[in-house]
Amino acid sequence: MVKLVPLITYEDLSEIILLVKNVYDMDLSGYSKASLKRRVIRFMELEKLDLLGLKTALINTKGFYSHFIMELTVNVTEMFRDPQYYQLLNTEVMPYLASFPRLRLWSAGCSTGEEVYSLSIILQEHGLYQRSFIYGTDINARVLDTAKKGIYSLAKVKEYSDNYLKSGCKNSLSDYYTAMYEAACMPNELKEKILFSTHNLVSDGVFNEFQFISCRNVLIYFEIDLQKKVFELFDKSLALFGFLCLGSKESMIHSGLLHKYKVIDKKYNIYQKIAL
Amino acid sequence: MKKPEILCIGGSAGSYHLILDLLATIPTQFQIPLVVIIHRNERYDSKIEENLDKRIALRVKVAEDKEAIQAGTIYFAPAGYHLLIEPDFTFSLDISAPLNFCRPAIDVTFETAAEAYQDLCCGILLSGANQDGAKGLMRIHEFGGNCLVQDPVEAEISTMPQAALTLWPAHPIYTYNELKKIIIQMTYSN
Ligand SMILES: C[S@@+](CC[C@H](N)C(=O)[O-])C[C@H]1O[C@@H](n2cnc3c(N)ncnc32)[C@H](O)[C@@H]1O
């Protein structure tokens, strides 16, 4: 008979969380358990390890831990994901951002960078790029390497063209990249105002003041208490009248901060900070 | 059959009209939280939950991230996300890669529901054109829950129920009308 019983239980998961905390001071305890457990099991299957094997390798095999952490995160992303969201950036957010003399933007949990290049393109189209600087951060150094290169599969980028058009942008996505064989390369113009760097939302603090923060499809992986903590970090990092943009299934209801934020769009979860 | 604390229904091609019919006939007193996972295109904004909510007495809504699961509510998995059930009986969403080309995947919701609710989980798998749901249903079975499969002979597209039966031939098979009766009876059993 097919054996399907889960490789590990929630108790096993707690042990792994504790081990990683004790040995590497990495705190995974605020992650949503069901998806974290699925990721751990996926990793164990990939590496053909049982629970003991996993623990042993985590403690004793050099480099194994960072490999483990990289594989735990979910890095799925797209350019112009949720076109209606980008449409709202075009109509509601960019015109307001134009009133700031200098713009600092932060994409937290940017994965392989597609979201950051999308922002870069939108800023260009609104004539705001020259006064902007975008920080793209993620906990996973491996995806940031891809982000820095800015080279994506041409087939995928062609799919993003459809997103781009639906977001009400002016040109054609192909105006922004150069196609080389099977690859689409982001040009240097789009990169020069971007800095990619590691930042852990669980343990790292404020590093600048921003007029725009987007953190999309990251908070779904966090339990409510950790979400709250991260919202506080964003609140401290956001300038007055700056914008906070979340994924289409993420909201500020559990943040305890809604008395300071105006809901710009309820469906796409765009907020503006209107009090300090 | 033990009265379940959660009822999960998965369906795809050939089962949408059944699910609509079923939800329209469920008695108002039905107190078991019901989770529906159907495959639909995330690029189209479907209003299926809103429309149903207006039409029937039970509350119908899209499951939200970190929402506590409540009795008397029918939840739909949002298009484009996997819907997971946490051990503390809340939902969480996940945008990791599709399984069998499906996101939401029935497997993901069934498996996590089984682990959270153990033998008090009931899973129903209806018509569909792919293999999604078979493994999840197996997991519900392993945790001692109840598994009901629509008769592949009757199903508009038999692939999905058939896949579940290939994995575990002993799952009980029912026609849609029988399934409907069983669900309605759950309302009054204890
Ligand atoms: C699903 S991706 C979202 C990518 C992009 N924002 C989007 O919406 O398309 C989630 C990202 O969050 C990152 N992440 C997870 N935990 C994190 C943490 N503690 N700090 C920073 N980033 C984290 C993951 O590495 C992953 O790249």
Q: Report how far ligand 1's centroid is from the alpha carbon of A107 (Å).
A: 10
Please give the torsion angle defined by the CA atoms of residues A206, A207, A208 and A213, in that order, rounded to the nearest 10 degrees: -60
pLDDT, residue B190, reads 72
Q: Specify the amino acid at residue A191.
A: K
| CATH architecture type of domain A83-150+187-273 | 3-Layer(aba) Sandwich (3.40)
Which of the residues B82, B88, B95, B121 would you substitute to probe the A interface, choosing the one with the greatest number of A C-beta atoms within 10 Å?
B95
Spatial distance between the Cα atoms of A238 and A244, rounded to a whole number of angstroms:
8
Interchain contact, B94 vs A221, CB within 8 Å = yes
- pLDDT tier, A19 (very low <50, low <70, confident <90, very high otherwise): very high
Q: How does DSSP classify residue A175?
A: G
Active-site position among B82, B132, B141, B171: B132
B149-173 residue pLDDT tens: 999 999 999 999 999 999 999 999 9
C-alpha B189: how far from chain center: 20
Whether residue B141 lies in the annotated active site? no
A83-140 residue pLDDT tens: 999 999 999 999 999 999 999 999 999 999 999 999 999 999 999 999 999 999 999 9
* Count of other CB atoms within 10 angstroms of residue B79: 18
H or E element: which one contains A42? helix A33-47
Give the pTM.
0.96
Whether residue B21 lies in the annotated active site? no
Evaluate: CB of A5 within 6 angstroms of ligand 1.
Answer: no
How close, in Å, is residue A188 to chain B by CA atoms?
30
Question: Of ligand 1's atoms, which has the minimum distance to the CA of residue A140?
Answer: 25
**Domains by residue range for chain B, with CATH:** 6-188 (3.40.50.180)
Average pLDDT over residues A15-42: 97
Tell me the domain boundaries of chain A.
10-72, 83-150+187-273
Spatial distance between the Cα atoms of A10 and A33, rounded to a whole number of angstroms:
8
Answer yes or no: is pLDDT of B124 > 50: yes
Residues of B with CB under 8 A from a CB of A: 64-66, 78, 81-82, 84-87, 92-97, 108, 111-112, 115-116, 135, 138-139, 142, 167
Is A4 an interface residue toward B (CB < 8 Å)? Answer: yes
Answer yes or no: is pLDDT of A243 > 80: yes
- pLDDT tier, B2 (very low <50, low <70, confident <90, very high otherwise): confident
Interchain contact, B138 vs A221, CB within 8 Å = no
Is A74 an interface residue toward B (CB < 8 Å)? Answer: yes
With contact defined as beta carbons under 8 Å apart, do B146 and B4 qualify? yes
Spatial distance between the Cα atoms of B25 and A223, rounded to a whole number of angstroms:
36
With contact defined as beta carbons under 8 Å apart, do A86 and A132 qualify? no
Which of the residues B42, B91, B94, B103 would you substitute to probe the A interface, choosing the one with the greatest number of A C-beta atoms within 10 Å?
B94
Whether the bond into A83 is cis, omega within 30 of 0: no
Interchain contact, A34 vs B93, CB within 8 Å = no
CA dist A203 → A139, A226, A268 (Å) = 10, 11, 27
- pLDDT tier, A7 (very low <50, low <70, confident <90, very high otherwise): confident
B63-114 residue pLDDT tens: 999 999 999 999 999 999 999 999 999 999 999 999 999 999 999 999 999 9
* DSSP characters over A112-147: TSHHHHHHHHHHHHTT-GGGEEEEEEES-HHHHHHH
Residue the block writes with tokens 């960072």 = A66
